[in-house]
A and B are shown apart, each in its own frame.
Chain A
């Protein structure tokens, strides 16, 4: 079991979701996060003062998958989120120790999908 954490551009969320659904990855958690990127992003201006914007808005996806689903999940996120410019984001893959489905009490790979 793996936990996939992806940080992507907010405006690419819909595209990533579409790619994931096509790969039959239907379970995901989404949160809005701020990140410290290397790129400048879109600068904001408030009453003439430029906001340099070290912290940029990003979307974080968390997806728990069984090992045989990992590759297609990574492919879908990459395909949906890529614009080719700096700031497209990153994907982290972690080993997942355990998973419990609260409703039934199932554990392990059974409980993920």
Chain B
């Protein structure tokens, strides 16, 4: 019996690319975890520690406030993720059948593409004691003191961290859900359920929570857990917005690893292992929350109420929308105004005088970081795109899910499910052992680890939607698989391909920790500079950097949109002779 269609040399190339992609995802993460686990167990030859024991962990538990740090990481991460998911579902439930959905995506997309660091800095500008909102609500300057008390920035409970994470993660969760819901098979099912639910008298919002969400949720569980792991372990948001004494564990790990005293590395490594533990615990906590919702959800389903407190849910959704619009508008205004302000005394809402001085300074200073960012972003995103395209192409036509594809989908989430602050240090340790001076190579690998999954997830949706019959027709015309790939598939998928490339750029632009650690500060990017400036003195330069951070990914997506409208479009100039022939053929058919 024959079952597998014969494969040619192009297929060998694509399968090779798939294994290369798997290696790029798995090896750095596994090496990184090993590299951080060894010092945590007391093995760190550089300072003469050669014995395996648990004393490092014991020492860690004696560090002042360690329990508060762990609690802060766990609490902010879980609370932010659960809140963001609930809000995203509330928004979806109100808008999933309406044309507002596309407008909603437009309002939320600035938050999606703005790097976490940029979003955190923007929030500081809005919420700090002399920030924009304080200006808005302070009508005489004697109220400054009371304004100070009312602002919760850098609070010891981590509320400001939660706020920033929620604002940043809602758009991501929403877009993941939308992309699942627009898969042809699922879309068909949802439409059917909607008709059946409406016929039974359920309101659209009730249908979303009772019929649609149960189909969609399993498909976004993994991305949601990736969001959660990021939330409990990210560095830039608590570094910029969070409390200092004590900070979250991830921020503490950053300080300990960078401590002049090398022996602090042991403590940092054991803390990184604890950080992995926190992530695992958070994942189980999240799954427990999901179980709870499912349990009560089933009882709720059986009760058969036709509405789901519709009014409260719509009100929440519109309120959220207003919050986003206000935040986007005031952030854009504040950042731009700050970057041009000569003098802007509190509590004035408009700066007294404008100047190009800050921008001139920025233009001089930003040249190197900007060219570094672009060089890194373009090379990383382009090679990730090539690898991902070839990997997707290695799947045979009409194939059922195989074990290899399961390995791939697990590997894709590996870098997103292992906290970066844990494995990146281990990775750096290995990199310094092997190729000490190949800084660009190291930072390239670290970026690839984060860019590949997003490029893959973004393109896989389009590939799944692609009508395979185009490929079958092209092959049946005698065109080789390689030519079909270049001449048919790429042109027909050019839109999604360019969007995936722009997404890869945006992800690379936003990397803070991977860039900082693998280069040891030798290569500065716009994002590392922005974070450094946020801790520094000049609010104006900081504002200018956030503006650049926001504009860069938008340029990428704008370029993608424009190119996809220009590339591979046949000339559509219908001349008069063509028109007459149209008339003739319409008659004849």
Q: Do A and B bind each other?
A: no
Which residues of A does B touch, CB under 8 Å? Answer: none
- B: residues with CB less than 8 A from A are none
